[in-house]
Amino acid sequence: MSSAQKMPKKSSNWLFYGVAVPLTILVTGIVSSSWWIWASAAPSNFGAKIRLTISDGMPTQAIAQELESAGVIRSALALRLWVTWQSLRSSESIALRSGTYDFATNQSLPEVVAQIQTAKSSEVRFTIPEGWSIAQMASLFEEQGFFAAKDFVIAAQRISPKRRTWLPDDIPSLEGFLFPDTYQILPSEATPDRIIDLMLNRFEEVALPLYQDNQSGNPKVKISLKDWVTLASIVEKEAVIESERQIISGVFWNRIKKNMRLESDPTVEYGLNIRQTPENPLTLDQVRTASPYNTYLNEGLPPGAIASVGLASLKATLDPATTDYLFFVAKFDGSHVFSRTFEEHEKALQAIDKKIQKKIPKQ
C-alpha cells in the first residue's frame, strides 16, 4: 500500500483526539457537576426533624453512611468527598464531633457537616469528677440551669427498691452510687431523676460487676456492697497520688482488723459540710463535734459514703496493699507519710506542721 493511501487514517486519529476526548471530558464534567449538585442538595424541601446520635470514635465513613441511611443527606460518598476537600483546603484537621443532633431534611450537605463540626448537638454534656459529693453535683446542675440544687439533693435521698433492686436498703442517700463520669442528656430530659438514672446505670455497668466478680470468687477481703462503697469513698477522698491508693486502703483495713477508729479527716468534713486546707486544717473543736460521719468519735464505718467513687478507689478497696502501716498524714504536695506506730505518726505530724507554718505568710 502506498504512503498516499495511509493519510486518511492519520486524519481520523487526529479527529478522535481532537474532538472525541475533549467531548468525553466535557460530558464527564457536566455529569459530575450534575451529580454533585444533586448529592449536596437537601434531601427534601420540607424541614422534617431527624434525631441522630454520633458515637465517640465513630469513623467518617460510618457517620456518612448513618446520615445517608437516616435520610439526612443524599450521598455518603458526597460527605466523604466534602470533608476531604475541606481538609485539603485547611491546615487543621477537620473533625466530626460526637453528640446527639436534630437535623432537618431541608439542610444541605455543607450545612449538615457544619452542624456536626461545630458541635451544635441537641444534647448537653456534664462531667462529675471523682470525689464529688451530691451537694457539689447539685450546685453544678443549678449553675448549668438544669434545675434547683435542692431538687437534686431531695431526689438523691429517695431510696426505693423500684430504683434498683441491687441498692442496699439501709443507705441514707445515693451518695457513692452516683458514678463519676461524663454524661450527655437532652435539655428537655434534664430532670433530677433522669440524671440519677443515668448515673446509677453507669454504676451498674462499671462498678457492680467488679464487686460481684470479686466477692463471688476468693476475695482478698470480704465486704458488703454498702460497706465497700462507703470505705472506697473514704479512700477516694484521702488518696491524691495513684501509687498511694492501695496503701491507704491497706491502712484502713489494718485499723478495721484491730478495731481501731478510722480517724479520717474527710469524714469530719463531710459531716460538718466544711473543707479544710493546709493553711486552715481541722480544729480540735471540729474533730470533737459529734456527727454520725465522724470517724474520730465513732467506731467502724460511717452510715454511708461521703463522695462519688472512681473505679481506681473501688479496686483499691478490694485489693489493699499488704502493709503494717496504721497511720498516715498528708503533706502539702498531696503525698502522705505513713507510720507504723503512734510515736512515728506524731513525729510526722510535727515535721509537716513546721513546713506548713513556714509557708504561711506572716501577718
Q: What percent of the chain has pLDDT over 70?
A: 87
| The residue to which cell 438544669 is assigned | 146
What integer pLDDT is reported at residue 53 of this predicted model? 82
pLDDT above 80 (res 206): yes
DSSP secondary structure string for all residues of 7-73: HHHHHHHHHIIIIIHHHHHHHHHHHHHHHHHHHHS-S-SS--EEEEEE-TT--HHHHHHHHHHHTSS
What integer pLDDT is reported at residue 65 of this predicted model? 92
Chain-wide mean pLDDT for the chain? 86
Q: How far, in Å, CA of 278 to CA of 100, rounded?
A: 43
Q: How far, in Å, CA of 33 to CA of 302, rounded?
A: 72
Q: What phi and psi values does residue 240 have, to the nearest 5 degrees?
A: -115, -40
Top pLDDT among 337 and 96 is at 337
Top pLDDT among 47 and 190 is at 190
Helix (H) or strand (E) holding 185: strand 182-185
Helix 192-216 vs helix 311-318: crossing angle, to nearest 10: 30
What integer pLDDT is reported at residue 356 of this predicted model? 67
User: How confident is residue 223, by pLDDT bands cut at 50, 70 and 90?
Assistant: very high
- Contacts of residue 356, defined as CB under 8 A and 6 or more positions apart, other chains included, come to 278, 279, 332
What integer pLDDT is reported at residue 362 of this predicted model? 55
What integer pLDDT is reported at residue 91 of this predicted model? 63
Q: How far, in Å, CA of 304 to CA of 327, rounded?
A: 22
